[in-house]
Chain A
Amino acid sequence: MSALETSPELRGTSAVDNSLKGPVLFLLISGAKWLILASILGYLVSWKSHNPGFLNGCELLTIGRVQAAYTTAFLYGFGCNISFAIGLWLIARLSGTPIGHGLVLILASICWNLALTVGLVGILMGHLNAFEFLELPSYVAPPLFISSLVFSIWGILCFKNRTNEITYAAEWYLVAAFLAFPWINLATKTMLFIKPSSGVVQALIASWFANNFLWLWFGSLAIAALYYLVPKLLSKAVLSYNLAILGFVLLIFVGSWMGAARLVGGPFPAWVITSGIAASITMVAFFVITGINFFGTLWRNRKSHSENGILLFVWFSSLALLISGLLTAFISLRGVAEVTQFTIFLDAHRFLIFYGVFSMAAFAVVYYMLPRLLERDWPMEFMICSHFWLAFVGTILLVVPLTLGGWQQGAAMLDATVPFSEVVRHTSYWMVGRSVAWIFLSLGHLGFIMHLFVMLKPECGACFEELTRIDSEKVEGTEV
């Protein structure tokens, strides 16, 4: 990043960056705050799950509620705020179009975060829904939907008014994400809360949502980020652009079917489950394509680039994408799902997708974006690498024990001669690994946030000065 000042793209894109500076910084700071809360809640959930005596008997902090609050803070608080920020910046950069009416975006961010805060308090008070990733109380759904719609419309309009003639692969995924997010929310919430469908289809709707929320929203954004960053950081094109088109079509037409595979064995017609399994297996092609384009490109050029923190995040995200994708197909198989269903194996898998793939890619974009947005380098470059290694160790420590422990849990549950209490006892040992992992993850987050605030200090200072200036003017005004 030392070559930043000489970068020719900087001058041409400063109008784009300036138009987005306010909203993006606002979203980033909000995301950072949620990340602190998510880390605390994540640790709390983890600790309570193997040590139920901790903060026992407190209604607000019952494990079910804390877990729902954690998922919400992590995915909707940190994940979505960061998604909106990087999504808008990437699409504006790639389209070469400044974004208009930034104030509306800031208002939408305020609305999103206020509604989320109300929702989170609601969850702790017991107003939660029992569907995965849909725990937020239904009364905060309208403001959340409206604000997400604002981000989507702004992103899509930016693409429509693009001045760059070429359309990049990253842009397809960004447009897909911005279209999919309001779509899946509207479809799901209508069928679950506005005009509830009766019977088991509720569980199918929820699992359709969970899959699309992970892959078509977070997944699309992560893939867009990688399609942007891999060529930028290596100054080399990805291996196959033609395959990228096929991959995109696969994700939209096949990827959106994968959710049903999770319901295997449940009270559903066989064709519903089979469609999910078939989709998950077909999607191996998609993950091989992204594997070739990201991992392959990185590997082929592994000697030609210097070590840099952002690239480490990109490496990890690419690898996690490949592994989590292949795992999706593996655990969709009926014989495998018989073991892994209902176990902590699935927690590990979900975490790998959200954190290993999405968050790692998002951190990389944030580290890449801010110096360009603020036109200065990160104050402490070594912090980027430290953050990566903490996140790396944390992810491994979380995913590996939960995967192994989940397999053991599932195998033991299958064997009816093993008493259930024994299953519980063995599983809780593995879950200690997760608590250790959260210490590493939290330290990484703390470093990231501190670094972010040091980076933003001049902006915050300027903002503060402006506020105090207005205040003193007001005071003077009243005195006169």
Chain B
Amino acid sequence: MKSFGALFLIVITGLTTSWYSLLVVTADKLGPGNLNSSVSFAGEDIVVHADEGLAARGKDVYLEMGCALCHTQQVRRPGYGGDLDREWGSRQAVPRDYLLQKNVILGNKRQGPDLSNVGARHDATWLYVHLFRPGINSEVTTMPDYSFLFEKKELDITPSSNALQLAGNDTIEEGYEIVPTKDAEALVAYLQSLNLDYDLPESRRVR
């Protein structure tokens, strides 16, 4: 390896090979060219979930808040990891599930639980309280408060319909209420949309 040419060739060939065979080929195999976002299965026409409307804005908030650094969005196959036993989903996640998402956030850390199906586990009220002060819902948690996604408002004659229902030590001073901001509403809409409540022909398959 004395000449620059030989070195250059080795490095560029090596990198190009792994880039092409791993990324380009997979991008094609798992991309819209080879996978359809809609499919007929068990007599039903199924279209996989896309981030739309308020949920799409909520996904941006999810990214901005750095949620993805502690939460994953992938349910592993049966028999591998405890994802299904922990009831983080009723089936494994498959490539087609992510096809219509602009940003795919599989995540690689589980400081918190997987969120692929969080919309099926919790309702909006629970999610709002959890974002405001996670300690209320979970006795042990390392999740910080996202209280800055909420506003403290002076109480009108009738309380706002979306005001948080806080009890015990968590109640705030009288004459005030806590209401979610637009960002919190979008984030909760997004979290509620996370629900793989449909089956795909390949999702029952055990690899």
Contact = CB atoms under 8 A, between A and B. Distances in A.
A132 B108 contact: yes
B47 interface: no
Nearest to B149: A59
Interface string B138-178: 11111111111000000000000000000000000000000
Contacts of B145: 52, 56-57
Contact of A414 (B12, B19, B67, B82): B82
Nearest to A211: B18
A199 B111 contact: no
Given A50-B142, A64-B67, A421-B139, A198 B23 contact: no
B136 interface: no
Nearest to A414: B82
A129 B93 contact: no
B35 to A, nearest CB: 7
Interface string A246-266: 001100110011011011011
Contacts of B92: 267
A169 to B, nearest CB: 9
A342 B83 CA distance: 12
B74 interface: yes
B64 A127 contact: yes
Interface stretch (B38-46, B96-104, B185-193): B96-104
Given A200-B30, A267-B95, A128 B66 contact: yes
A199 B99 contact: yes
Contact of B32 (A57, A198, A346): A198
Contacts of A267: 74, 92-95, 97-98, 106
Contacts of A197: 23, 27, 31
Interface residues of A, number: 84
A176 B8 CA distance: 8
Contacts of B69: 63-64, 67-68, 130
Contacts of A52: 134, 141-145
B142 A187 contact: no
A460 interface: no
A413 B82 contact: yes
Interface stretch (A34-42, A201-209, A225-233, A378-386): A201-209
Contacts of A200: 30, 95, 98, 104, 106
Contact of B105 (A130, A262, A269): A130
A260 B145 CA distance: 34
Interface in A37-72: 48-50, 52-53, 56-59, 62-65, 67-68
A245 B1 contact: yes
Given A183-B15, A200-B106, A267-B94, A257 B22 contact: yes
A53 B132 CA distance: 13
Contacts of B97: 267
Contacts of B100: 198
A62 B140 contact: no
Contacts of A194: none
A416 interface: yes
Contact of B31 (A49, A167, A199): A199
Nearest to A176: B11
Which has the most chain A C-beta neighbours within 10 Å: B10, B93, B99, B113? B10
A272 interface: yes
Contacts of B108: 132, 207, 262, 341-342, 346
Contacts of A266: 74, 76, 93, 106
A351 interface: no
Given A184-B15, A265-B76, A68 B147 contact: no
Contacts of A239: none
Given A126-B64, A413-B110, A201 B26 contact: yes
Interface in A161-193: 167, 172, 175-176, 179-180, 183-184, 187, 191
A416 B85 contact: yes
A241 to B, nearest CB: 11
Given A202-B103, A268-B95, 20 more contacts: A59-B148, A62-B144, A63-B66, A67-B69, A68-B69, A130-B103, A167-B1, A180-B15, A187-B19, A197-B23, A197-B27, A199-B99, A200-B98, A265-B74, A269-B95, A334-B80, A341-B108, A342-B107, A413-B81, A427-B111
25 contacts: A49-B111, A49-B142, A53-B144, A57-B148, A62-B65, A63-B69, A126-B65, A128-B64, A130-B66, A179-B11, A183-B15, A187-B19, A198-B99, A198-B101, A199-B27, A199-B32, A204-B26, A208-B23, A265-B76, A267-B98, A268-B95, A341-B81, A343-B110, A413-B110, A421-B140
